[in-house]
Structure 1
Amino acid sequence: MVISEIFIYPIKSCQGIRVDQAQVTPKGFIWDREFMLVDSNGVFLTQRQHPQLATIKVLFLGNLISLSVKKTSLKPFIFKPSFTGLEIEVDIWGTRTIAIDQGQQVAEWFKTALDLEENCRLVRQSPKYIRLVDQKYAVKENDQVSWADGYPFLLTATASLAELNRKILDFEPQNFEEVPMNRFRPNIVVKTTEPFIENNWKFIQFDEIIFDIVKPCSRCIITTTDQLTGKKNHLQEPLRTLSKFQFAKESMIFGVNMIPRNQGFVSVSSSYKIG
């Protein structure tokens, strides 16, 4: 069995980029969740409050980043990522840390693109301030993470998605809409034949790169949002169906959180070993 897809999400909650190869670092893929939006109080913003973030397309143009949205009145915006901007205090999941402001122009573009009433800022994670994973699931001291919700990597599996869609069809045959994998915003998608077998794995290895699988991933309302249009599923799928058969510790689960043991590259079509 092999990797079927790899994704990075440069700006938290904006559209992802599908790639053929990505570099593994202790806090996630290079560029994955390197940036996020915060409100005027420094509190992080996601699709939970602003599903229209799903409509923001992010592309790399050499050492520049291009932002675009399907609004006829708003032109794409290109900016150069910076480590030299103003350092500001931000809050992500109740943890305060320091991030690097990316400037007024990109902040104004996002405010217009998202139809926000209040100001926002785009910030970059500072290499001077490590953000730790939940220590209950840390494998080693100082296991870290980018602006991702909790862990450096998220893996999902093809057989699990197929089984989930089969169950949605059984529960809602008259209103069935197939749920695509991008609703779960994975970093790595692997081909499997047995649904939800990944929940039992302890580690996975691609060539020389080994990841410890530390916990199933609890899913939130973002999975009900179309990752291109920002529109919500009126039946609350896939959460509604997951709650009937993939439920653990008061939360719906899909996919697994991972922490890398070492660094290197992983590629689409790479085979894997599990244990």
Structure 2
Amino acid sequence: MASVAELYYYPVKSCRAVSLNEVTVDSFGFENDRRFMFVRGNGRFLSQRQEPRLATIKATITTTGRRIDRLRLESSLVENALEIRPRFDGETIDVSVWEDRVRGVDQGVEAAEWLRGILRTDSVHNRLVAVPDKDYRRDVELPKSFPSVPHSQLSFTDAGPLLLLSEKSLEDLNRRLEERTGETVPMSRFRPNIVVAGCDEPYEEDTWLLIQIGAVPFMSYRKATRCKMTGVDQESGEVDKIGPLEILREYRAPRGPGKAEFGQLLVPLTTGGTVSVGDPVKVLDRKKTT
């Protein structure tokens, strides 16, 4: 039977992953996932697509109960770490993630100054923002044929509350990549929340519709579309000459060369439960093939 091999969350959008042994599921997916992001002066989100150096930023949060008390950011590119007491209320600014316009709480000049050293720019218009406690709503865009999940929404993530990927699928991609380049890539390139071991076949997760992990049910509603961030080393921020995206486009792009797919987007059907490494992944229903 398939089981959970690894769990990750990303406190700051497009920064380094944090490994977990256990995590609480909330209306955004995993608790504290992508609650912060960097934006340009116009409010547009910053990501490794434009600024691969963001991959060098390690974020650590300190909580009391379910409340984030401190956020610490550090990077090999600068000597000093940033440590702030984040704000989740008060004045907000307009920010955007792709076509979604929402509000974010500006975390101040100190964070903006620290980011200058990472991006090596004189601009202080780039800011760090947080998902506000109130007056924030960003709905999950589910296919019309799927039932609605009213409690579920998106934080600052790109497209889905959670991303699941199997070890077997990565093995298949790496076999193809090694044949072409002599190299392989780690799972971190694809920034999953849930890594599954024990699948019988590569891409078996593509067939799952309803699954249960621990006591938490999830609906798998579409494949994840991949971008050039898969070519960014998640430790150094360096960019591959030939990355996994080029290989994926050859055999995982049924909707066209710009739509390579790898991994599954999940929406939790209940909140408040926990998911742990080692939990079995029970397949409750599979997608109908046509």
TM-score class normalised by the smaller sequence: over 0.9
Structure 1 Cα separation of the partners of residues 192 and 60 of structure 2: 18
Equivalent positions of 1:1-275 (< 5 A) are 1-62=2-63, 63-71=69-77, 73-118=78-123, 119-127=125-133, 128-136=135-143, 139-140=147-148, 142=150, 143-170=152-179, 172=180, 175-191=181-197, 192-235=199-242, 237-250=243-256, 251-263=259-271, 264-274=273-283, 275=285
Task: Please give the secondary structure, in 1, of the residue aligned with 2:37.
Answer: strand
Instruction: In structure 1, give the amino acid aligned to 2:210.
Output: F
Whether the aligned pair in 2 keeps the contact of 1:159 and 1:195 (CA below 8 Å) is yes
Instruction: In structure 2, give the amino acid aligned to 1:19.
Output: L
Higher mean alpha-carbon deviation, 119-128 vs 32-41, is at 119-128
Whether the aligned pair in 1 keeps the contact of 2:11 and 2:61 (CA below 8 Å) is no
Whether the aligned pair in 2 keeps the contact of 1:85 and 1:102 (CA below 8 Å) is no
TM-score, normalised by the number of residues in structure 2 = 0.89
Deviation at 1:111, TM superposition (A): 1.9
Whether the aligned pair in 2 keeps the contact of 1:223 and 1:239 (CA below 8 Å) is yes
Pick closer, same or farther for the CA change 1:53–1:139 going to 2, 3 Å: farther
Task: Please give the secondary structure, in 1, of the residue aligned with 2:182.
Answer: coil
Pick closer, same or farther for the CA change 1:24–1:265 going to 2, 3 Å: same
Structure 2 Cα separation of the partners of residues 231 and 193 of structure 1: 33
Task: Please give the secondary structure, in 1, of the residue aligned with 2:260.
Answer: strand
Instruction: In structure 2, give the amino acid aligned to 1:186.
Output: P
Instruction: In structure 2, give the amino acid aligned to 1:24.
Output: V
Task: Please give the secondary structure, in 2, of the residue aligned with 1:248.
Answer: coil
Whether the aligned pair in 2 keeps the contact of 1:85 and 1:103 (CA below 8 Å) is no
Whether the aligned pair in 1 keeps the contact of 2:224 and 2:263 (CA below 8 Å) is yes
Q: For this pair of structures, how many residues does the alignment match?
A: 270
Deviation at 1:52, TM superposition (A): 0.6
Structure 1 ranges of 4+ moved more than 6 A: none
Q: Percent identity?
A: 35
Structure 2 Cα separation of the partners of residues 83 and 5 of structure 1: 29
Unpaired stretches in structure 2, ≥5 consecutive residues? 64-68, 286-290
Deviation at 1:217, TM superposition (A): 0.5
Pick closer, same or farther for the CA change 1:102–1:139 going to 2, 3 Å: farther
Unpaired stretches in structure 1, ≥5 consecutive residues? none
